[in-house]
Amino acid sequence: MAATSAVGQVTRVGFYSRSCPRAESIIRSTVQSHFRSDPTVAPGLLRMHFHDCFVQGCDASVLVDGPSTEKTAPPNLGLRGYEVIDDAKRQLEVLCPGVVSCADILAVATRDSVVLTSGPSWPVPTGRRDGRVSQASDTSSLPGFTDSIEVQKQKFTAKGLNTQDLVTLVGGHTIGTSACQFFRYRLYNFTNTGNGADPSINAAFLPQLQALCPANGDGGRRIGLDNGSPNKFDASFFSNLRDGRGILESDQKLWIDPSTKTLVQRFLGVRGLLGLTFNVEFGKSMVKMMWLELDLGK
C-alpha cells in the first residue's frame, strides 16, 4: 500500500470535515460491510492498530510491504484485516485523492469495528501522516505472550502508558482468538507440576483446553481469548482471569501480580475498591495510545 500524507499540520477530531467530509462515513460503512461477512475483522483491526501504535506511533508503518518490514516480523505474521484498510483506501482515493492517510483509516476503522462488537466509541483525532520507515527489528517493543508483568509494565511505560492503561488495553482481548501454538505449552510443558500444566489454570478448565488443543494437535487452531463471549466486547475477560481461565500466560499474570490484580478487581467492581467502568476507560486509553510518538513531520 502506498503511503499518503495527510494534508495540513494539525491533528484533531474532524480533521477531514472540509477536505474530505465523507471520509469517516466511508470508513464506517466499509467496516460494517466486512464485519457482516466476517466478524473476526473486529479483533483483527484492534490488534493491528495496537501493533502499529506501539512501533513509532500510529503511523500505519505496519501496513508497509517489503523485506524486513514490520509486517514480516514474527509478532505481526498473524495480523488480519488488511483487506478492510485496502478497501476503504481505494474508495477514498476515488473521492479525495491523496488526502486521507492510511494511519487515519486504520485508527477510525478500529474504533468502528469495536463499536460493532457492542464496545465503546471514542473520539479519534485525525490528520496523521503515514510513516515511510518500517523495520521488523522495531517490533521488539511489542508486549509478548510470555512477558512478565514487570516487562509488560516497562514496555508500556516506555510508551508513556501507565499500569492502568496496560490492564485496560490488554482487556481488548475480550474479543478475538489465539492460536493453540501460543499457549499450548501451558497445558503440557510445566515440569514442576504433577499434571504438567500451568498451576494458574483452573483445574476444571484444563480438560476443556486440552481437548481443544491436544499436545500433538493443530497448532494453528484458534481459541477464544474470552471464554464464553469471544465476540462481544465486555468485562467478562476480567472475570475469566479471576477464575483462572485466562488463555495467554501474559493475560493470566494480570490476576497474579498484586500491582495489576487490584486494577482487574476494580473493573470487576470488587467491594471496597473504587470501581472502574471498562468501556469508559478503554476509550480513554485508546485515545491516549493514539498520541504516542505522534510526528506530524513524517
Query: Binding site membership: which residues?
Result: 52, 55, 57, 59, 61, 70, 143, 173-174, 226, 234
Mark the binding-site residues for heme b, compressed into ranges.
Answer: 173
What's the distance, CA 92 to chain centroid?
25
Q: Torsion angle of alpha carbons 281, 158, 8, 111, nearest 10°?
A: -30
Side-chain-facing half-sphere of 14: CA atoms under 13 Å: 2
**Exposure string over 212-239, b if 16+ CB within 10 A, otherwise e:** ebeeeeeeeebbbbbbebbbebbbbbbb
Q: Which candidate, 113, 114, 99, 95, places its Cα nearest to that of 29? A: 113
Paired strand residues for 178: 223
Please report, for residues 5, 86, 198, 225, the alpha-carbon distance to residue 15 in angstroms, rounded to integers and kept in the order given: 13, 21, 49, 35
Mark the binding-site residues for Ca(2+), compressed into ranges.
Answer: 52, 55, 57, 59, 61, 70, 174, 226, 234
Interior angle at CA 108, CA 251 and CA 72, nearest 5:
60
126, containing H or E segment: strand 125-126
Could you confirm whether 34 is annotated as catalytic? no
Reduced to 3 states, what is the DSSP secondary structure of residue 144?
Answer: coil
Q: Which candidate, 74, 83, 76, places its Cα nearest to that of 61? A: 76
How many other CB atoms are found less than 10 A from the CB of residue 90?
11
Mark the binding-site residues for substrate, compressed into ranges.
Answer: 143
Instruction: Determine contact, residues 58/159, Cβ cutoff 8 Å.
Output: no
> In the chain, what is the straight-line distance between the N-terminal and C-terminal CA atoms, in Å?
16
28, 34, 49, 51: which is the annotated catalytic residue? 51
Q: Which three cell numbers stand for residue 138?
A: 522495531
Q: Which three cell numbers stand for residue 67?
A: 523485506
User: What residues are labeled active site?
Assistant: 51
